[in-house]
Amino acid sequence: MIRFGIAGFGLHAVRRLMPGFALAQNCKVVALSRRDPQKAREVAEQFSIPHIFGSTEELCRCPEVDAVLVTTPDVFHCSDVLTAVRAGKPVLCEKPMAMNAEECRQMVDAARAAGVRLGVAHIFRFEESTARLRERIAAGDIGHPVFARAEFSYPGTGHARTWLYDPSIAAGGPIADVGVHCIDTLRYILQDEPRRISAHGRRDQGSGGVEAAAILTLEFRRGTLATVLVSTRAQYRTPLEFVGDEGVLRADDGLRVDPPVSIELWREGKLVSAESASNRMAYARQVDAFASAIEGSRPFPVPGEEGWQNQIILDTAYRSLSSGKAEDVTILAKEARPGNDPK
């Protein structure tokens, strides 16, 4: 049984992580850190977590913590991961992995040098619906994928995470916050990498120093053209669609973990088949997979290098947003991406 400490125990931990740990088979939460001592005591009592700390550093010194899950705001990801690595703790970091790709490089290099496992919490890689889309496209259900579309919008006005609008704390607006989910899911399902990206976005009076909505166009290396639409100003929606030369696969709630996801196959304008996939175990699968990796039974599916590559793509998108033109995406060399697999 792997014992986790959650650094930066906040809304995400309450709503998503702890219900996932409750369903997990091989891990549990024994410690948390939070700057507000009163709120720390309240959530510790709510979830029967025995150890409470005021900082990531204190949490990492706890001998009963086997692994650290970093859920602090974006700007702290790099320092918190490095703190865990220095303490010899395997660390699973929330997305986006850092503020920029250079920070990701530091994190990956430090984990490799210390022989410590580093993973990134890209939850949609652990969904049943995502796995089915990947399998069906690989099996040729739609032929060659010509177009792909991923959207992620939610009403962000008045959101509890007020720091999301502060570019000194957040890696960006919805491009970084939820666009990274879309980008990672497209890379994973298509089993391909984007070679060029263009981005257009807009701010408004309530979005502070970050974008409120944006559209990205990604040109993948094997020819698929993809769009990613993100916003904190629209109703919650997360459709995925893949259009091939022989058919179309759709999942209207493709990036959701709560309701069952219906995957539809269309050909010549007619519904050919539909299947339902449950994603309720996604968060449990994620933490159990990291626990298994720590124990050495199998590699973690999303090592730090994958988060680093996603951050390179995010950086490229923001560069395009600034330049107003398409920008080439750097793909990590094979020697930089062996996977974080300590001996």
Question: What's the confidence (pLDDT) of residue 208?
Answer: 86
Residues 169 and 259 in one domain: yes
Pairing state between β 261-267 and 248-251: antiparallel
> Quick check: is 22 in a domain?
yes
Same domain, 86 and 150: no
Neighbouring CB atoms inside 10 A of 270's CB total: 7
Length of the chain as a residue count: 343
Q: pLDDT tens, 240-260?
A: 999 999 999 999 999 999 989
Query: Burial code of 98-110, b = ≥16 C-beta within 10 A, e = fewer?
Result: bbbbebbbbbbeb
Q: Collapsing DSSP states into helix, strand and coil, what is residue 8?
A: coil
Cα separation of 314 and 207, whole Å?
A: 19
90, 126, 293, 315, 343 from 300: Cα distances, Å:
11, 11, 5, 25, 14
Shared domain for 168 and 262, answered yes or no, is yes
Whether 326 is in a domain gets the answer: no
Q: Select from 313, 171, 102, 159 the least CA-distant residue to 228.
A: 313
CA nearest neighbour of 116 among 237, 294, 239: 294
Which pLDDT does position 163 carry in this prediction? 82
Computed on alpha carbons and rounded to an integer, the radius of gyration of the chain in Å comes to: 20
| Amino acid identity at 49 | I
**CB count, 10 Å around CB of 143?**
13
Give a yes or no: residue 19 inside a domain: yes
pLDDT confidence of residue 339: 53
94 φ/ψ angles, rounded to the nearest 5 degrees: -65, 160
Same domain, 107 and 203: no
Do 138 and 112 share a structural domain?
A: no
Q: Are residues 23 and 86 in the same domain?
A: yes
Cβ proximity of 226 and 218 under 8 Å: yes
Strands 145-155, 261-267: parallel, antiparallel or unpaired by DSSP?
unpaired
pLDDT value of position 338: 55
**Helix or strand run (H / E) with residue 273:** strand 270-277
- Look at residue 341 and tell me if it is in a domain: no
Confirm whether 331 is domain-assigned.
no
Q: 65: Cβ–Cβ under 8 A, 6 or more apart, which residues?
A: 3, 4, 5, 30, 31, 51, 59, 89
Asked whether residue 140 is assigned to any structural domain, the reply reads yes
27: CATH: 3.40.50.720
User: In this predicted structure, what is the pLDDT of residue 342?
Assistant: 46
Cα 294 vs. chain centroid, distance in angstroms? 20
Give the contacts of 288 (CB within 8 A, at least 6 positions apart): 24, 25, 26, 27
Q: Two tokens at 14? A: 């309450």
> CA-CA distance, 161 to 52, in Å (whole number)?
22
Alpha helices in the chain (DSSP H): 11-12, 18-23, 37-47, 56-60, 77-86, 101-114, 128-138, 174, 180-190, 282-295, 304-323
Residue 175: give the domain boundaries: 128-278
What letter represents residue 325's amino acid?
K
Residues in the chain with pLDDT values less than 70: 334-343
Same domain, yes or no: 8 and 116: yes
pTM of the model: 0.95
Q: How many domains does the chain have?
A: 2
